[in-house]
Amino acid sequence: MELNEYFQSYENYFWEWTTDEDVPDPSGYNEYNLISIPNVGAIAYRPYVIEVLKELQPYGFPPFGSLLLVLYASQDGYLNLDGISYYLKKIEKNSRLRNTDQVIELLENINRLPRIYKTGQNKINLLQTLFKSSHNQTSSGSADLILKRFAKRPYKITECAQKITYRSMLFAVDDIGNLINISEKFPSTESIIQAMKGIAEVPDLEDEVLEEETTVETDKDFIQELIDEPKTFQVGSLIKRIWSGLKIPMRHLSPGDQPIGGISDMTNKGELHRMLLSEFAHDDEVFMNRVANNEALYIQREIPPEENIFERIILIDTSLKNWGTPKVLAFASAIAIIKHPKAHSECKVYALGEHSVPLSLNKVEHIIENLNFVSPVLEASRALEKFFNEEHTGKDLEVFFITHEDHIKNQNLQKVINENRDRLKFLVTTSANGELNFYKHHKGTRKHIQKIMLPLKELWANPPLGKKGRQNNFSSGGKKADVPLNYPILFPTPGNRIATFLYEGEFFILSNKKQLLRTYLSDNYYNREHYNNHKIQHGSEVLIEDISIKPKGQFALAKNKQQEFILCQYQPDKKLISKLNLNTKEYSELNVTGKNIPDGHRLIYFGKYFYLFHEESEMIPFINIEGAISLEYVLNDRLIYKSHGKVESEIKKLYNSEIKILNNFNKIGINKAEELVISKIAFRRYNNNLYAFDKNFSDIEVMASQNKNVFSFEDGSEIITDSRGMLTFKSSNKNIPVFYMPSTEYGYLALGTETDFGGSEYYLPKENKLKIREMEEMYTQYMEAFIKHVLEYGT
């Protein structure tokens, strides 16, 4: 078979050659480097297909269409098999083929295979298993010739990419008929697995590509997030303590032969060429007698350990007796197993009560929701029995069952556990006093592995207040003082930001601290003559914080019908579009590989949609705001170009004012000039109504003691620092109300209370009920009074 014949594409067939300009080809020929299914999705890039064919060459090539369908079905993630079915029905109508439904069934079985069978070398084993001795194979010699010709002339693919009109459907009969025959050999997923194991042991995986990073990220360690959230504090505070004593193997290696030298490298079974030379020194009769009785010694072959194939599942008993502290221990144990630093395998979690219900423990919100899950049954034996006998009948399971210690005394539950002890590998019992017991089923017997006693009273002694618990009581022992979301005056706007947006006349900033800020441009209220025709920038207020987003790519912001903020992100390098509801945290993403979106397209918002916009494109993609993410195309409109230009022009007005925010506080005091000193700078007056920080020239007279973000003076007065750029002053003199000042190294500052404001308009909120006063008056009444009270203490 010739190269052109094997790779030829056809009119109205299910696959075609396309070009992805962003992906280079090792051959140096980058045209037609992607194979895709029209209106369905990408199958694979040409370099990958060539590497697969190289692995299959010793066995001969299967029909190219057959190979492509199997490669598509073995992908992870969403598959559009309905789109495939459309093409198969069309082929069935125009040919003598029948029973194309069998092909869809085969593809579904392939897709349902556990991921370990579809990755790395195992994927080659899968292809070899399916296509071994299949119909219409290209011989090994012809396969080798095709690969050599492609290596010399990769540009020949251009000819193959030019679709030809078929006179007969013989090529389709080869492609689809081959898969119909294979489906008859492998009617189920289990039959494919068994056949794969017959070809070779499934080796330790070497993935072809690195795992993609999840788009949704958080700055904090996940366990620390659980500890910081009051509703999950009890669960989170137990996990690291459980890790410290956990003896469950996190990665399974076959116990097989792993010789390490010396006598362990000897065996009484082996091949003749591996026999020890000393054995040949015996007389013939003695030698033959030793061989016949398996007494001869051989050098043992060194076999690397291999990873066993198990699907790890954790079952959490949610029946009535497992409520309260035992349930907290159950969830903590499950998360400790899943999130263990050495755990790399996937793990599914189910709640067992009346039925088995799948749970997600990957986000704090999920855990809060699932902790409230309770089933109105006394024990979960029926659900456990149904789980093994009806829902998960496979043998390659490694199941953890976590239940209350009193439950395993129940006869019904004991019976189900005993009948399924080959798959229920680990049993974990909880108790109300913090005791965890781990048992392992091995060769039909239950063995107690370990007991972990958790000091609940100690671990749960200091629960967090949470954001809702932020109060004026800033002195909180050894803990960091909580700070409010916003203050009566504005924060300084950070110069370092991920993105800036203009939405319906308002400016928004996505800061490097993963916060959504709103800022303003407004007239100056002090000198209208000077600012009559000019705008000045204001500080910002925090709308949403702790946004789980990766700071790369392009961003656009809008609101949905419920007036919730929707943040759209486009990562051109990953061909990934994602959408995050900042209020509800609802997230969706879409991989646009194969959509042929050229470089230079920018993510923008216009007229109730997000667009991947380029002024020279005739058709541009748009992304919906409401519901799950989707991508469609629309004719480019000049109005979009004009609107985008205006938005960019307005955003340029948010110039970077180079305000340096103080966020690393190591020393606060008062100098001999009676000025507030932070590190090496002092807060002083320049002229009427202008106050700012400048270099300190006086010695420190009174130094505050630091406890996390609280600086306390001997008189009991406190200064609370906020790394976002704000200082809170709380005097021990009750006649001096709490007041606030921005912490920026350069620029004129302001002072504010709950009722009064003075200083730079930069920090004045757009909508406020504050009384505007002279800065000098504010300084005297608040800051100077605060400092004098501290200095007068003890004199």
Q: What pLDDT shows up at residue 486?
A: 95
Counting residues of the chain whose pLDDT is more than 70, the rounded percentage is 85
Counting residues of the chain whose pLDDT is more than 90, the rounded percentage is 23
Helix (H) or strand (E) holding 50, with range, is helix 46-56
* Residue ranges making up the domain that contains 726: 668-792
Shared-domain flag, residues 62 and 189: yes
Choice between 652 and 702, residue whose per-residue pLDDT is larger: 702
| Residue 784 scores a pLDDT above 50 | yes
Shared-domain flag, residues 617 and 676: no
| Residue 549 scores a pLDDT above 60 | yes
Shared-domain flag, residues 639 and 609: yes
Shared-domain flag, residues 693 and 750: yes
| Residue 476 scores a pLDDT above 50 | no
Does the residue 218 lie in any domain?
A: no
Average pLDDT, integer, range 14-40 = 81
Does the residue 289 lie in any domain?
A: yes
Shared-domain flag, residues 332 and 238: yes
Lowest mean pLDDT among 368-382, 661-675, 681-695: 368-382
Q: What mean pLDDT value characterizes the chain?
A: 81
Q: What pLDDT shows up at residue 736?
A: 94
Q: By C-alpha distance, which of 181, 156, 128, 168 is closest to 6? A: 156
Which range is most confident: 346-350, 362-366, 486-490, 707-711? 486-490
Burial tier of 189 (Cβ tally within 10 Å: 0-12, 13-18, 19+) = middle
Average pLDDT, integer, range 249-253 = 52
pLDDT band at 624 (very low <50, low <70, confident <90, very high): very high
Q: By C-alpha distance, which of 66, 73, 71 is closest to 108? A: 73
Shared-domain flag, residues 89 and 181: yes
Give residue-wise pLDDT tens across range 406-442: 888 888 888 888 888 777 888 899 988 888 898 888 7
| Residue 92 scores a pLDDT above 50 | yes
Average pLDDT, integer, range 159-182 = 81
Given 618, 651, 684, the domain boundary residue is 651
Q: What pLDDT shows up at residue 594?
A: 80
Q: Read off the CATH number of the domain in which 415 is found.
A: 3.40.50
Q: Quickly list H helices, 601-712.
A: 638-651
CB of 733 closer than 8 Å to CB of 775: no
Shared-domain flag, residues 677 and 564: no
Shared-domain flag, residues 401 and 440: yes
| Residue 470 scores a pLDDT above 60 | no
| Residue 510 scores a pLDDT above 80 | yes
Does the residue 211 lie in any domain?
A: no
Does the residue 257 lie in any domain?
A: no
Give residue-wise pLDDT tens across range 202-212: 333 333 222 33
Q: What pLDDT shows up at residue 217?
A: 36
Cα–Cα distances (Å) from 97 to 62, 88, 103, 418, in that order, read: 18, 10, 11, 50
Q: What pLDDT shows up at residue 765?
A: 92
Shared-domain flag, residues 510 and 608: yes
Shared-domain flag, residues 387 and 321: yes
Choice between 490 and 323, residue whose per-residue pLDDT is larger: 490
Q: What pLDDT shows up at residue 478?
A: 53
Has this prediction a pTM greater than 0.85?
no
Within 10 A of 702 (CB to CB), how many other CB atoms are there? 19
Average pLDDT, integer, range 327-354 = 82
Shared-domain flag, residues 128 and 230: no
* Residues 712, 699: Cα–Cα separation, whole Å: 19
Does the residue 206 lie in any domain?
A: no
Average pLDDT, integer, range 558-581 = 93
Q: What pLDDT shows up at residue 6?
A: 86
Chain centroid to CA 504: 32
Within 10 A of 29 (CB to CB), how many other CB atoms are there? 16
Average pLDDT, integer, range 303-319 = 68
Does the residue 515 lie in any domain?
A: yes
Average pLDDT, integer, range 19-34 = 78
Interior CA angle at 661 toward 659 and 663, to 5°?
170
- The tokens describing 462, both together, are 């200091």
Q: What pLDDT shows up at residue 772?
A: 93
Q: What pLDDT shows up at residue 371?
A: 80
Given 431, 459, 487, the domain boundary residue is 459
Lowest mean pLDDT among 73-77, 216-220, 374-378, 526-530: 216-220
Average pLDDT, integer, range 101-123 = 84
Does the residue 481 lie in any domain?
A: no
| Residue 468 scores a pLDDT above 80 | no
| Residue 541 scores a pLDDT above 90 | yes
CB of 466 closer than 8 Å to CB of 486: no
pLDDT band at 774 (very low <50, low <70, confident <90, very high): very high
Average pLDDT, integer, range 30-52 = 86
Lowest mean pLDDT among 205-209, 290-294, 498-502, 539-543: 205-209
Does the residue 382 lie in any domain?
A: yes
Choice between 65 and 267, residue whose per-residue pLDDT is larger: 65
Given 589, 623, 651, the domain boundary residue is 651
Shared-domain flag, residues 232 and 381: yes
Domain count, the chain: 5
CB of 309 closer than 8 Å to CB of 345: no
pLDDT band at 475 (very low <50, low <70, confident <90, very high): very low
Choice between 107 and 79, residue whose per-residue pLDDT is larger: 107
